[in-house]
Amino acid sequence: MSQGFSTTCLHGFKDFTTNKAHVLPIFASSSFMFDDLDHGISIFTKKEPGHVYSRYNNPTIQTVADKIAQLETLGTGVEASAFLTSSGMSAIYIVMQSLLKPGDTLLAQKKLYGGTTELFQKSLAPNGIHILSMDLSNLEAVEQALKNDKGIKAIYLETPSNPTLDIVDIGAIARIAQTFNVQTVVDNTFPTPYLQQPFLYGVDHIIHSTTKYLNGHGNSIAGAIVSRHTEWMQTTVWTQLKLIGATCNPFDAWLLYNGLKTLALRMDRHSSNALAVAALLESHPEVGNVYYPGLKSNKGHDIASVQMPRGFGGMLSFELTRNLPAVKSFLKNIRLATQAPTLGDVDTLIMHPATSSHLNIAEEDRIKEGVTDGLLRMSIGVEDTNDLLKDIQQALDKINPSLS
């Protein structure tokens, strides 16, 4: 049939694909076609698999989500499913919305990423969800809290925590939670499944900010939800995800897919560099506390050695004894660390939590959590080890002893 110019521009394309692509293609399509009415009905009613609309799911996104589920379950004997979300924060929110209802209580680790704490206080709490924060290393107190409050439906934790790298015994918390029929949610962003697999210890759900180490290159924002409760994922979580519209997009998923290819290589180098930097910091007179679970002096070292058998990751924090003036001096003189409010990139990053991630946390609360004015958080990159050590050494040596 003869057709006009505009119609020819708009309709039809010849698919030249003859072989499968070696690299995952980007399916940059908002919707997917049906062969006929019956085909569409079968997909919408889930009588046969198929894609409808990229807010619901997309082949690129689905492939990468499945890869993360594989990594979290590899060698564990656990079956799990995963979804990618628009960010790590949306992943947390969707899990909480799917697990909790007004009147329920969330037992949360006291020391958490500031954004997570703010989300719990300013989004969940006003919607009728009670937030109980406590030190999850006190197992007796955790068990007593579950005995006293039958409204606790979920426990949320980070280990290592952000930014003070506190270590929580995942297995112990999971066992206590199971006794009381309470769900457990672990943020596994810092270690990644290469260094730590929470499913080994009986955890129910895992979340990631894939923006960080899973991607590793600072060029996309996304989150992941991984759960052993596969039916719950395909019903409750999927419904929340599609209706809220917090789905990942194909391009960010594709960038994440490429980053995952070098995850093991990167995490080995991040870990070895961070251990060397932590040892240097621990020996310097201008530095007080050093928070890194790889140090034998760290109170969480023994538990971390079991939970993170391949290494302790690239994140560390440390306190300068002369507080804010010393922080300003150090940041002015360091050369190989970029000041940026993120982590997990291949290059070294540094941040002052008190004036960034924890800015909206009450001063009294953040100080109780160890986020003092002298605290700096470093995401150690994969640079040459000696170059990093020399740079940090010279920046520390330039701190004027008269600062106070």
CB atoms within 10 A of CB 87: 18
pLDDT of residue 365: 80
For the chain, the domains span: 37-260, 263-397
227 within 8 A of 243, measured Cβ to Cβ: no
Catalytic residue positions, numbered:
55, 113, 187, 212
Looking at every residue in the chain, the average pLDDT score rounds to 94
* β-bridge partners, 351: 377
pLDDT in the model for residue 6: 87
Q: If you ran DSSP here, which 8-state letter would residue 122 be given?
A: I
Q: Do 287 and 281 touch, CB atoms closer than 8 A?
A: yes
| pLDDT tens-digit series, residues 76-124 | 999 999 999 999 999 999 999 999 999 999 999 998 998 999 999 999 9
DSSP 283-343: H-TTEEEEE-TTSTTSTTHHHHHHH-TT---SEEEEEETTHHHHHHHHHHH--S-EE-S--
Cα(62)–Cα(72) distance, rounded to whole angstroms? 16
Helix, strand and coil percent figures for the chain, each rounded to 5:
40, 15, 45
Reported pTM: 0.94
pLDDT in tens, 326-346: 999 999 999 999 999 999 999
Q: Which CATH number fits domain 37-260: 3.40.50.150, 3.40.50.12280, 3.40.640.10, 3.40.50.80?
A: 3.40.640.10
pLDDT per residue as tens digits for the range 265-321: 999 999 999 999 999 999 999 999 999 999 999 999 999 999 999 999 999 999 999
Q: CA 220, CA 218: separation in Å to the nearest integer?
A: 6
Residue 1 pLDDT greater than 80, yes or no: no
Task: Tell me the mean pLDDT in the region 147-159.
Answer: 97
- pLDDT band at residue 175 under the 50/70/90 scheme: very high
What was the pLDDT predicted at 379?
98
State the pLDDT at residue 283: 96
**Is 263-397 a CATH 3.90.1150.10 domain?**
yes
pLDDT over threshold 70, residue 74: yes
Half-sphere exposure of 1 (CA within 13 A, CB side): 5
Q: What is the pLDDT of residue 114?
A: 86
Q: Is the pLDDT of residue 404 over 70?
A: no
Residue 86 structure tokens: 């628009």
pLDDT value at 159 more than 70: yes
H-helix or E-strand containing 205? strand 205-209
pLDDT at 15 > cutoff 90: no
**Above 90 in pLDDT, residue 400?**
no
- Report the candidate in 95, 85, 129 with the shortest Cα–Cα distance to residue 229: 95
pLDDT at 10 over 90: no
Give the E-state strand segments of 125-181 in sequence order. Answer: 130-134, 152-158
Average pLDDT of the residues in 57-71: 96
Residue 133 · residue 347 · CB < 8 Å: no
What are the backbone angles phi and psi of residue 222, rounded to the nearest 5°? -165, 170
Q: Report long-range pairs for 332-336 (Cβ below 8 Å, ≥24 apart).
A: 333/394, 333/395, 333/398, 334/391, 334/392, 334/395, 335/391, 335/395, 336/381, 336/383, 336/387, 336/388, 336/391
pLDDT tens figures, 16-33:
888 888 999 999 999 988
